[in-house]
Amino acid sequence: MSIDWITVIAQIVNFLVLIWLLKRYLYRPILNGIDAREAEIADRMLAATHAEEKAEAAEARYLDEIATLHANESAMTDTARQKAEAARDVLLADAHEMFEKERKDWDAHLKQEGHKYIAELHKMGAEALLSLTRKALGDLAGETLEERIVAHVVTQLVPMSENLRKAAGSVAEAVATTRDTLPKAARELLEADLQDIIPNVALRFETDTEQSPGLILRVGGAQVAWTMDTYIDGLNAILDENSAVGKVFEVQGDGA
C-alpha cells in the first residue's frame, strides 16, 4: 500500500490551520473571558474585603462612640447628681437658717411680751400697793404716804451722809422728785435733815407723774431712790430666787 504524502501533508496543514484558528478565535476569547472573570472575582473579593474592613472599622467606631456616650452620660449623671445634692444642701441650709432666725425672733417676741406683761403686773401691783398703803396709813396713823416716805428717808440719810457730801462736791442745789406733791411739813422735814448733812445746799422739789410712787434724791452725781419699784424689784428677785430653788429641787427629785 502506497502513502499519498501530498494528502498527508495537506491534512497536517489543515490540522495546523484548524488549531491556529481555534486558538485564535475560540480558545483565546475563552481564556481572556476566564481571566477577566477571575480578575473580576478577585476585584470583587478585594472590594468585599475592603468593605468588611470598613464595616469592622465602622463597628469599632460605633462601639467606641457608644462607650464614650455611656461614659459621658455617666459623667453627666454624676454631675447632675452632685449639682442636685449641692442645691439640696443649700436649700436645707437656707431653711435651717430661716428656721433659726424665726425661732430667735419668736423667742425675742415672747421675751418682749413677757417683759411687757411683767411691767404691767408691776404697775398694777404698785398701784394696788400704793392704794392699800395710802388707805392703811390714813386709817391707822392719820399720815399720808408721802409723809411716811419722807420719815423713812430721813432715817436713811444719816448713815450715807459721808457719801452724799462727797457726791455733792461744789454743787449748790439738790433735787427731790416725787410723783405727787409733798405736803409742806414733809418738805420742811427733808430740807432740815439735808441741811444738817450738807450745809449750804438748797433743796428743790419736783413732781413727775410718770415716776413710781416714792422719792428720788439727786445730789451732784449721786442718786438715791426710795420708790415702790425698788420694793417690787426686790420682791421680784425673791420670787425669781425661790423659783430657781424650786427648779433645782425639781431636777434633783427627777434624778432621784
Cell numbers placing 253? 427629785
The predicted structure's pLDDT at residue 185: 84
CB 152 within 8 A of CB 172: no
The predicted structure's pLDDT at residue 93: 84
Assess whether 95 and 151 both reside in one domain. Answer: no
Q: How many domains does the chain have?
A: 2
Q: For residue 221, tell me if it sits in a domain.
A: yes
Assess whether 127 and 170 both reside in one domain. Answer: no
Q: For residue 165, tell me if it sits in a domain.
A: yes
The predicted structure's pLDDT at residue 45: 86
Assess whether 243 and 149 both reside in one domain. Answer: yes
With H, G, I as helix, E, B as strand and everything else as coil, classify residue 26. helix
The predicted structure's pLDDT at residue 143: 53
CA distances from 158 to 10, 62, 155, 204, 219 (A): 182, 108, 6, 20, 14
**Domain C-terminal end among 142, 168, 190:** 142
Assess whether 158 and 246 both reside in one domain. Answer: yes
Assess whether 171 and 217 both reside in one domain. Answer: yes
Assess whether 92 and 172 both reside in one domain. Answer: no
Q: For residue 160, tell me if it sits in a domain.
A: yes
Rg (CA), the chain: 62
**Domain C-terminal end among 87, 116, 142:** 142
Instruction: Identify the domain containing residue 156 by its residue range.
Output: 144-252
Assess whether 183 and 237 both reside in one domain. Answer: yes
Q: Output the domain CATH number for residue 247.
A: 3.30.2320
Assess whether 104 and 179 both reside in one domain. Answer: no
Assess whether 90 and 135 both reside in one domain. Answer: yes
Q: For residue 36, tell me if it sits in a domain.
A: no
Q: For residue 50, tell me if it sits in a domain.
A: no
State the 10-residue block means of pLDDT for the chain, 256 residues long: 74 82 75 81 85 85 83 77 82 83 83 76 64 52 63 77 78 85 85 83 87 82 75 56 47 45
The predicted structure's pLDDT at residue 55: 84
**Domain C-terminal end among 109, 127, 142:** 142
Q: For residue 155, tell me if it sits in a domain.
A: yes
Instruction: Please report which helix (H) or strand (E) contains residue 205, including its range.
Output: strand 202-207
Assess whether 159 and 83 both reside in one domain. Answer: no
The predicted structure's pLDDT at residue 241: 59
Q: For residue 115, tell me if it sits in a domain.
A: yes
Assess whether 103 and 186 both reside in one domain. Answer: no
CA distances from 8 to 1, 2, 20, 21, 85 (A): 14, 12, 18, 20, 109
Q: For residue 11, tell me if it sits in a domain.
A: no
Query: Sheet holding 202-207: strands in order across?
Result: 202-207, 173-178, 214-219, 222-227
Assess whether 195 and 134 both reside in one domain. Answer: no
